[in-house]
Structure 1
Amino acid sequence: MKIALIGATGQVGSRILGEALERSHQVTAIARNPASLAPRAGLKVLALDVSKESDKLAAELAGHDVAIISVKYSQVDAAPILEAVKRAGVPRVLVVGGAGSLQVASGVDLVDTPNFPAAYKGEALAARDFLRLLRQETAIDWTLVSPSALLQPGQRTGQFRIGGDQLLVDAKGASHISIEDLALALVDELESPRHSRQRFTVGY
């Protein structure tokens, strides 16, 4: 599959890149500063500021089977990225979202709870706004994956649960997932779609 990965040098994006290349996909890795990406079979590297060069982004996206968006939503307006994907005629987009929009009770999102960390609130709200935008989208086949509340580097175990709009917690009440398993779940969804025009979540 021919994949355009936007945000390929980030913590999550770099794991998605590695997972996709290990599965023999062709990946165009798009980042503002992609110098950290070493040459690999199946990898094309593109230096591009997606927040400022939407016309060039649309031109570069043409011909890809899918676009993956993995950015910091408080720093990058993702709406023009989505428009570039549509203009390029890319039929499908997979999005890495945030945990803040997951529900902890009926009608209550994690980001709206009293103890949600203030340092992460701006990013969580921006990511939720993009999810709401996607839910109004009818012209493209989209899927968004939200991690559990604690997302950090760890092991690629392949042993995780998949949920919908509710925050997943383990038997001890913790909500967590490794970045490696998040990347695995996203590429699984890429290869075997199960959540067309839906958000799903992964957790232990």
Structure 2
Amino acid sequence: GSLEVAPGVTLVSSPDFPAAYKDEALAQGEALQVFRAAQTAINWTFVSPAAEIYPGESEGPYRLGGDSFFTDANGQSRISVTDYAKAMVDEAEKGTHPNQRISVAY
């Protein structure tokens, strides 16, 4: 929910954002701000999933983004839990985005 749909406008603030997920999305956005404001030597990476994260096997290559919400060619923002987990493990092993937020979707 804290990904931006436009500069300075978060997905959670959009009128169609599901109310059932709003509190969690706001809390995760606050957690990200804590990480970004921390004055520490600890490296962290905040991983934001696609809008739809669902059970299932790998569907192939996923894409990484930054702070912007992104979709596939069909306008969908989705990722299987298998590929989401793979993205987190890949990042933990490679450490290519220290002290940054990355987003993961197809």
1:183 counterpart = 2:79: no
**Cα distance in 1 between the residues matched to 2:10 and 2:54:** 21
Give the partner amino acid of 1:187: V
**Aligned partner of residue 162 in structure 1, secondary structure:** strand
Q: Which runs of 5+ in 2 are unaligned?
A: none
Post-superposition Cα deviations, 1:4-34, rounded to whole Å, max 9, x if no partner, equal xxxxxxxxxxxxxxxxxxxxxxxxxxxxxxx
Q: Percent identity?
A: 51
Query: Which of 3, 10, 17 pairs up with 1:109?
Result: 10
Give the partner amino acid of 2:19: A
**Correspondence for 2:66:** 164
Give the partner amino acid of 1:168: F
**Correspondence for 2:46:** 144
**Aligned partner of residue 186 in structure 1, secondary structure:** helix
Post-superposition Cα deviations, 1:85-128, rounded to whole Å, max 9, x if no partner, equal xxxxxxxxxxxxxxx00011111100000110111101000111
Q: How many residues align structurally?
A: 105
**Aligned partner of residue 126 in structure 1, secondary structure:** helix
**Cα distance in 1 between the residues matched to 2:44 and 2:85:** 17
**Cα distance in 2 between the residues matched to 1:156 and 1:173:** 20
Larger radius of gyration: 1
**Cα distance in 1 between the residues matched to 2:88 and 2:99:** 14
Segments of 4+ moved more than 2 angstroms? none
Asked whether the 8 Å contact 1:147–1:182 carries over to 2, the reply is: yes
CA RMSD of aligned residues (A): 0.9
**Cα distance in 1 between the residues matched to 2:44 and 2:37:** 11
**Correspondence for 1:93:** none
1:124 counterpart = 2:25: yes
Give the partner amino acid of 2:23: G
**Cα distance in 1 between the residues matched to 2:70 and 2:85:** 17
Q: How does 1:72-83 map to 2 (within 5 A)?
A: none
Deviation at 1:157, TM superposition (A): 3.4
